[in-house]
A = this chain, B = another copy of it.
Amino acid sequence: MLLWSKVYIDMSKSISLSILTQRFHQVLPEEAVLTNKEQLYPYESDGLTAYRQLPRLALLPDNHDQIKAIINICREFQLPIVARGAGTSLSGGALPHAEGVLLNLAKLNNIIEIDPNNRTARVEPGVTNLAISQAAKPYGLYYAPDPSSQIACTIGGNIAENAGGVHCLKYGLTVHNVLALKILTIDGEILELGGKYFDSPGYDLLALMTGSEGMLGITLEATVKLLPHPQQKKVLLAAFDNIEKAGNAVTGIISEGVIPAGLEMLDNLTIQATEQYCSPGYPPNAAAILICELDGFEEELNSQIILVKKILKDCQAIEVRLARDEQEAELLWMGRKAAFPALGNLTPDYYCIDGTIPRKYLAHVLENINGLSKKHGLRVANVFHAGDGNLHPVILYDANASGELETAEELGGEILELCIKVGGTITGEHGVGVEKLNQMCVQFNEAEITTFHAVKAAFDENALLNPGKAIPTLHRCAEFGAMHVHEGKLPHADLPRF
CB of A175 within 8 A of CB of B207, answer yes
How many Å from the CB of A10 to the closest CB on chain B?
Answer: 25
Which residues of chain A in 154-187 are interfacial with respect to chain B, using CB atoms and an 8 Å cutoff? 162, 164, 168, 172-173, 175-176, 185, 187
Separation of A208 and B436 alpha carbons in the complex (Å): 23
Binds B, one of A39-47, A72-80, A250-258, A283-291: A250-258
CB of B197 within 8 A of CB of A203, answer no
The verdict on A197 contacting B455 (CB below 8 Å), with A203-B208, A297-B304 known, is no
How many Å from the CB of A448 to the closest CB on chain B?
Answer: 5
**Residue on B nearest A471 in the bound complex, by CB:** B202
Determine how many copies of this chain the complex contains. Answer: 2
What 1/0 mask marks residues of chain A from 193 to 216 whose CB sits below 8 Å from any chain B CB? 101111111111101101110001
What 1/0 mask marks residues of chain A from 384 to 406 whose CB sits below 8 Å from any chain B CB? 00001110000000000000000
* Interface status of A451 (Cβ within 8 A of chain B): yes
Chain B residues near A210 (CB-CB < 8 A): 204
Separation of A272 and B123 alpha carbons in the complex (Å): 45
CB of B195 within 8 A of CB of A452, answer no
Chain B residues near A388 (CB-CB < 8 A): 197-198
Interchain CB contact (< 8 A) of A199 among B201, B211, B300, B486:
B211
Separation of A447 and B184 alpha carbons in the complex (Å): 10
Which residues of chain A in 258-303 are interfacial with respect to chain B, using CB atoms and an 8 Å cutoff? 296-300, 302-303
Binds B, one of A339-347, A370-378, A419-427: A419-427
Separation of A448 and B200 alpha carbons in the complex (Å): 13
The verdict on A198 contacting B303 (CB below 8 Å), with A117-B251, A228-B256 known, is no
The verdict on A459 contacting B451 (CB below 8 Å), with A201-B436, A432-B201 known, is yes
Chain B residues near A117 (CB-CB < 8 A): 251, 255, 358-360, 498
CB of A195 within 8 A of CB of B423, answer yes
Interchain CB contact (< 8 A) of A448 among B164, B192, B302, B436:
B192
CB of B195 within 8 A of CB of A425, answer yes
* Interface status of A444 (Cβ within 8 A of chain B): yes
**Residue on B nearest A302 in the bound complex, by CB:** B299
Chain B residues near A34 (CB-CB < 8 A): none
**Residue on B nearest A258 in the bound complex, by CB:** B228
* Interface status of A104 (Cβ within 8 A of chain B): no
**Residue on B nearest A486 in the bound complex, by CB:** B192
CB of B458 within 8 A of CB of A451, answer yes
The verdict on A204 contacting B203 (CB below 8 Å), with A173-B198, A359-B117, A428-B198 known, is no
Separation of A321 and B265 alpha carbons in the complex (Å): 46
Chain B residues near A255 (CB-CB < 8 A): 116-117, 119
CB of B358 within 8 A of CB of A205, answer no
Q: Which of A196, A211, A229 has the most CB of B within 10 A?
A: A196
* Interface status of A356 (Cβ within 8 A of chain B): yes
Separation of A99 and B492 alpha carbons in the complex (Å): 45
* Interface status of A236 (Cβ within 8 A of chain B): no
The verdict on A454 contacting B458 (CB below 8 Å), with A197-B424, A203-B208, A299-B297 known, is yes
**Residue on B nearest A446 in the bound complex, by CB:** B189
Separation of A184 and B178 alpha carbons in the complex (Å): 29
How many Å from the CB of A45 to the closest CB on chain B?
Answer: 21
CB of B185 within 8 A of CB of A451, answer yes
CB of B451 within 8 A of CB of A191, answer yes
Chain B residues near A470 (CB-CB < 8 A): 201-202
The verdict on A212 contacting B207 (CB below 8 Å), with A228-B256, A359-B117 known, is no
* Interface status of A190 (Cβ within 8 A of chain B): yes
CB of B205 within 8 A of CB of A424, answer no
Which residues of chain A in 326-346 are interfacial with respect to chain B, using CB atoms and an 8 Å cutoff? none
CB of B118 within 8 A of CB of A360, answer yes
CB of A205 within 8 A of CB of B119, answer no
Q: Which of A251, A427, A457 has the most CB of B within 10 A?
A: A427
What 1/0 mask marks residues of chain A from 428 to 449 whose CB sits below 8 Å from any chain B CB? 1101100010001001110110
* Interface status of A357 (Cβ within 8 A of chain B): yes
How many Å from the CB of A334 to the closest CB on chain B?
Answer: 26
* Interface status of A314 (Cβ within 8 A of chain B): no
Query: Would you list 29 pairs from A and B whose C-beta atoms are within 8 A, ordered by A residue?
Result: A117-B251, A117-B359, A117-B360, A173-B198, A175-B204, A175-B207, A176-B176, A185-B451, A190-B445, A191-B447, A191-B451, A195-B425, A197-B356, A197-B388, A197-B390, A199-B428, A200-B211, A201-B427, A201-B436, A202-B440, A202-B448, A205-B208, A205-B448, A205-B455, A228-B256, A228-B257, A451-B459, A454-B458, A455-B458
